[in-house]
Structure 1
Amino acid sequence: MINCIIVDDEPLAATLLENHISKIDHLKLVGKAENAMEAYKLLQNQTVDLMFLDIQMPHFNGIDFLRSLSQKPRTIFTTAYREFAIEGFELEAVDYILKPITFERFFKAVERVLRNIADTKDNFIILKTDGMHRKIHLTDIIYIESQGNDIKVTLSTQESFIAKSKIIDMESALATKGFLRIHRSFIMNIEYVTAFNTNEILLGNHKIPVGRSYKQEFDNFVNKVSKNKLL
């Protein structure tokens, strides 16, 4: 699922984009903004993968707004003006669509986004912490611990921080990336395992328990390690 927002001060154009988005299962609209300041607030409060951004807006145009962002989501410019195309692509926009936007042209742009995501190596995640969206390389994560509706992430630098996410969402996102959930409260990076028994796992100096309901997953992990690694 790709979380997206619409940034456009024209109600009819925004409604048309919303209708197009509703027809594509991979897209989820998480917010709309009529100007750059509203858009900035959305980016602070939502995980945004894709932004449909108008260029001609009051006070602060879309080009300058995107240029001002330190963390830029994938962006598709939506505008009635051709003359900004070069600037748009210089900012690494995924696409540049001229209004009025047909569904066929919209779908082609979204396909480009999907290809872009597929071609990008998923070796990092973006987590929201302390009002910021933080890029974390997966190889730096030792383990993740549930903290109610939040998670605690422990890194190889021995730093840890609290992020706005649920452990079940992290389990789904990391399942094929070398991580294993072995307790209702813990997900581990298997590359950091240094020792284990039937009840607990050591990740360097960190010890985490094996939950009873996760014994099968743990046994599968042990069997795989024993078959391929142990002498």
Structure 2
Amino acid sequence: MQIFNCLIVDDEPIARDIIMNYCGHLPYLNVVASCGMALEAKTVMQQQKVDILFLDINMPVMDGISFLKTLKNPPQIIFTTAYKEYALDAFDLSACDYLLKPFSMERFMVAVDKAIEKLNPTPVIFQENTDPKTEDFIFIKTDGKIYKIRHDDLLYAEANGNYTKIKTVQNTLLPAMTFSNFEELVPKSMFLRVHRSFIINKSKIDHIEGNRVFINDTEIPIGSNYKELFMKQLGLS
């Protein structure tokens, strides 16, 4: 059985104890340390390998998001916080998952499973996902209906709180799903993140002007943190 090293960083002792207890129920998790401050965690990570980092956001001296930005090769990050407003920032930094306190053992296990999948992807699943016969559509549930949307009909998607605004050739849908969940549904080779709140179908781009991309006369901003990668994905840099 493969063992994954975990590090817990939270300024609340009770919160650290809860995560430690949850980890104790999963024999494949090994907690190497439990820290009350981000700077303590830095020292631990310099001394030993960490696979999964359970990271609080609102902490003294240095918050979790700022700490993550200092890591050159971060492990799988699972944010644990009482503040849902940090979710977009967390996923912008490629966090594996975002646990909103208080969270259950079941929700904790879902987050850990996501992290382990990224650390140790199954070759069979990878081959299935790259099969040239892979499906070219998704299903979206909203307003009591389930819509089948072909990738080629999808223009762009926009984050809208706990919803995602999906603009297609035919209509506009507003399903109760997070932006990150939508991003996981569509192929990354076809749908590009151009802003913290926008994903576009690159085949639908009319033109690009400055920090804006135009799709069917709709002007979509290109975020400064995304522009370089976006241009590379288009083969323009």
Write the letter of the residue equivalent to 1:55.
Answer: I
Write the letter of the residue equivalent to 2:39.
Answer: M
Are positions 1:94 and 2:100 aligned together? Answer: no
Q: 2:83 aligns with which of 81, 84, 89?
A: 81
Write the letter of the residue equivalent to 1:36.
Answer: A
Secondary structure, aligned partner of 1:55 = coil
Q: 1:110 aligns with which of 109, 112, 137?
A: 112
Q: 1:68 aligns with which of 67, 70, 75?
A: 70
1:120 Cα offset (Å): 7.8
Kindly indicate whether the alpha-carbon contact (under 8 Å) linking 2:76 and 2:119 is maintained by their aligned counterparts in 1.
no
Distance in 2 separating the partners of 1:66 and 1:114: 19
Are positions 1:23 and 2:61 aligned together? Answer: no
**TM-score for both structures, normalised by structure 1:** 0.51
Question: Could you list the runs of 5+ residues in structure 2 that have no partner in the other structure?
Answer: 124-237
1:74 Cα offset (Å): 0.8
Distance in 2 separating the partners of 1:120 and 1:7: 29
Aligned match of 2:9: 7
Runs of 4+, deviation exceeding 6 Å: none
1:118 Cα offset (Å): 2.7
Structure with max Cα Rg: 1
Q: 1:33 aligns with which of 32, 35, 49?
A: 35
Aligned match of 1:173: none
1:71 Cα offset (Å): 1.6
Write the letter of the residue equivalent to 1:58.
Answer: P
Distance in 2 separating the partners of 1:49 and 1:118: 11
Distance in 2 separating the partners of 1:22 and 1:29: 8
CA-to-partner distance for each residue in 1:146-177, whole Å, 9 max, x for gaps? Answer: xxxxxxxxxxxxxxxxxxxxxxxxxxxxxxxx
Distance in 2 separating the partners of 1:69 and 1:120: 26
**TM-score for both structures, normalised by structure 2:** 0.50
1:119 Cα offset (Å): 2.2
Write the letter of the residue equivalent to 2:99.
Answer: I
Please report the RMSD computed on the Cα atoms of aligned residues, expressed in angstroms. Answer: 1.2
Question: Could you list the runs of 5+ residues in structure 1 that have no partner in the other structure?
Answer: 122-231
1:101 Cα offset (Å): 1.9
Distance in 2 separating the partners of 1:115 and 1:44: 24
Are positions 1:43 and 2:48 aligned together? Answer: no
Distance in 2 separating the partners of 1:17 and 1:98: 13
Count the aligned residue pairs.
121
Q: Percent identity?
A: 44
